[in-house]
Structure 1
Amino acid sequence: MPLTTEEQLVDEIADWLDRHFAARMLSASRIRRGLMNEKWIVETNKGKLFVKSYHPERYKMHDPAFRGKIENALRLQLLLFQSGGACPEPLTLEGRCMHSLPCGRYMTAMTCSPGAMAPAGKISEPRLHALGRAAAHMHNAWDSAASLGLGAALPPEEPLWRLSREEMERSWEAGWHEARDSSERVRSAMHVQKSIIDSLGEEDFAPLNAGWTHLDLWADNLLFEGDALTAIVDFDRARYSFPLLDLGRAVLSGALDERGFRRDAAAAFAEGYRGARPLPPGSILQAVKYVWCIESFWWIRPSFESFSGVPARFADEMIGTAERWEQLGDLLGNV
């Protein structure tokens, strides 16, 4: 596919909006966050929109099956919006939320939610309470849609990211082999990772309840005004997995700072969630551990010392959690 300039993309998006929605573009402000995908806040005669163009080097957009997964994730977002959930409304055309441009690129457009992001690790207790309630609403809405047999919510046969001791051990061995010439800091972090893997009991591998899951519920995908959550955004990764993973990711992102876990903040999130959906005691501890068991292999690896920005934050979360592993029960066990 030939290279597409930003000017060409914006022109084609403007033409698409005008042709299909009679929305005349007045301006387009580029958002330079995230990896490779191009994003804009677009002012039109019908109000503000958020537009994303999927970069072919970020996603396998040439693969219809992969495109179908993102399309389904966007439809899940639409179901959540229709249920009254806190998220933008995707624009649909002939029942689809993902659209193609003449240049061959794929895009999505949606309403633009108000609000601003909060710094990772520093989300206040009232905001985490609001996020917990919104996450519970999201999971309830998707469960209800699945029970009604609605297309986007029909579950596949197997959920993503089921834990396996054997797979964890293989992943660690592969990483350790790559780290043979790495620094002492890298090797020390991987030693701690291996000790945690060895300490896991069978209860840590017990199956979780499966369901549709956002799978990217972290600070950059949350918008707030005052103490209120205005929107959860970026549903591209939503898949049939384990909703508890959303809870672990939210607590790691919102309540873990340089001093450790802010217990009252984690408790505020859990209280908000319990206001709309059952959550047995100990679930937050289980969620954080489960997320660590999956994500630590993404971020604790030989190259993590070269990370900056968002990857560095995720690596710090994994290392910080590992360093406090023995205290997690006291910190989060009764939350």
Structure 2
Amino acid sequence: MEHVDGKNLLPGTLNVKQMYSLGQMTGHMHNVANDGTNKNDRNPKFIPPSVEQRLDYWKSFYKTIDENDMFVELLEIQIKATKHFSLELISSCETGWAHRDLWVDNILFTGDQLSSILDFDRFAFDYPELDIARAIMSGAFNGSTFNSNSAKAFLDGYRTIRKLEKGVFARSLYALWYLESTWWINPNLSLDRYQVVQFQNEMTWLGKNLSELRAMYGSW
């Protein structure tokens, strides 16, 4: 493997300048990936299940957990959010080639500047805005706190390179939640790794705030 300068940062710790730089490079990556060199697939990688299927999935856990289990609270957050979800939010997303794993473990910084994006193993034809949501949640969300200034800096940087309409960020969060929530809200996951805790906290926060995301970030 070729040596690349730079270092990883912890989730939720990226400053405004770092997020701006990450936004610019993400926009550049999307421009290059979608310049016509890569032929578009017929369908995006993420084919979302119906809301009914997703509700059945969540409710199936009630058969395997105790009513006093701490997981019940996380589960009920996801069920409530799913009941109010519309798949039209995903079908309205623009398709294109995307990294699909753009979080802090796969990006390197030298000071305030992004030096490299790593690990394109999951690169596929999907929804590029998933990269936007994944990068922002990874860089700007810490514990239970969302750093709006860092998130806005990413979007500002992205828009210097690639067009991004207002409202897309909010929509990207809905799509990210529907894609990833089943990966990280699971009673069988070990919470010994900080990465798992981070992802689970992100999905819990998104689930709690899902009905308000458009009001909170729709003008961004």
> Structure 1 length normalisation: TM-score?
0.61
Q: C-alpha distance in 2, partners of 1:233/1:293?
A: 24
The alignment partner of 2:186 has SS state of coil
Q: C-alpha distance in 2, partners of 1:203/1:139?
A: 23
User: Residue 118 of structure 1 aligns with which residue?
Assistant: 9
User: Residue 334 of structure 1 aligns with which residue?
Assistant: 219
Paired residue type of 1:116: K
Deviations, residues 36-68 of structure 1 (Å, cap 9, x unaligned): xxxxxxxxxxxxxx2xxxxxxxxxxxxxxxxxx
User: Residue 55 of structure 2 aligns with which residue?
Assistant: 169
Pairing 1:195–2:80 present = yes
User: Residue 27 of structure 2 aligns with which residue?
Assistant: 136
Paired residue type of 1:233: L
Q: Is the 8 A contact 1:251 1:288 kept in 2?
A: no
Pairing 1:206–2:206 present = no
What is the aligned counterpart of 1:228 among 105, 108, 113?
Answer: 113
Range with bigger deviation, 268-277 or 202-211: 202-211
User: Residue 299 of structure 1 aligns with which residue?
Assistant: 184
Q: C-alpha distance in 1, partners of 2:42/2:148?
A: 36
Structure 1: any 5+ residue segments left out of the alignment? 1-49, 51-110
User: Residue 186 of structure 1 aligns with which residue?
Assistant: 71
1:203–1:157: structure 2 CA closer, same or farther, 3 Å change rule?
Answer: closer
The alignment partner of 1:229 has SS state of strand
Q: Is the 8 A contact 1:130 1:269 kept in 2?
A: yes
Q: C-alpha distance in 2, partners of 1:236/1:291?
A: 18
Deviations, residues 59-116 of structure 1 (Å, cap 9, x unaligned): xxxxxxxxxxxxxxxxxxxxxxxxxxxxxxxxxxxxxxxxxxxxxxxxxxxx321111
Range with bigger deviation, 307-316 or 251-260: 307-316
Q: For residues 273-284 of structure 1, what are the structure 2 equivalents within 5 Å? A: 273-284=158-169
The alignment partner of 1:208 has SS state of coil
> Structure 2 length normalisation: TM-score?
0.91
User: Residue 157 of structure 1 aligns with which residue?
Assistant: 42
- The sequence identity of aligned pairs, in percent, is 28
Q: Is the 8 A contact 2:171 2:214 kept in 1?
A: no
1:122–1:207: structure 2 CA closer, same or farther, 3 Å change rule?
Answer: same
The alignment partner of 2:115 has SS state of strand
Deviant stretches of 4+, over 4 Å = none
1:183–1:238: structure 2 CA closer, same or farther, 3 Å change rule?
Answer: farther
User: Residue 104 of structure 2 aligns with which residue?
Assistant: 219
The alignment partner of 1:265 has SS state of helix
Structure 1 or 2: larger strand share? 1
- Structure with the larger RCO, 1 or 2 (CA within 8 Å, 6+ apart): 2
CA drift of 1:183 comes to: 4.7
Q: Name the larger-Rg structure.
A: 1
Q: For residues 1-335 of structure 1, what are the structure 2 equivalents within 5 Å? A: 50=1, 111-144=2-35, 147=36, 150=37, 153-164=38-49, 165-178=51-64, 180-181=65-66, 183-201=68-86, 203-304=88-189, 306-335=191-220
Range with bigger deviation, 296-305 or 242-251: 296-305
1:202–1:295: structure 2 CA closer, same or farther, 3 Å change rule?
Answer: closer
CA drift of 1:268 comes to: 0.5
Q: Would you say how many aligned residue pairs link Structure 1 and Structure 2?
A: 219
CA drift of 1:327 comes to: 4.0
1:207–1:257: structure 2 CA closer, same or farther, 3 Å change rule?
Answer: same
CA drift of 1:193 comes to: 0.2
Structure 2: any 5+ residue segments left out of the alignment? none
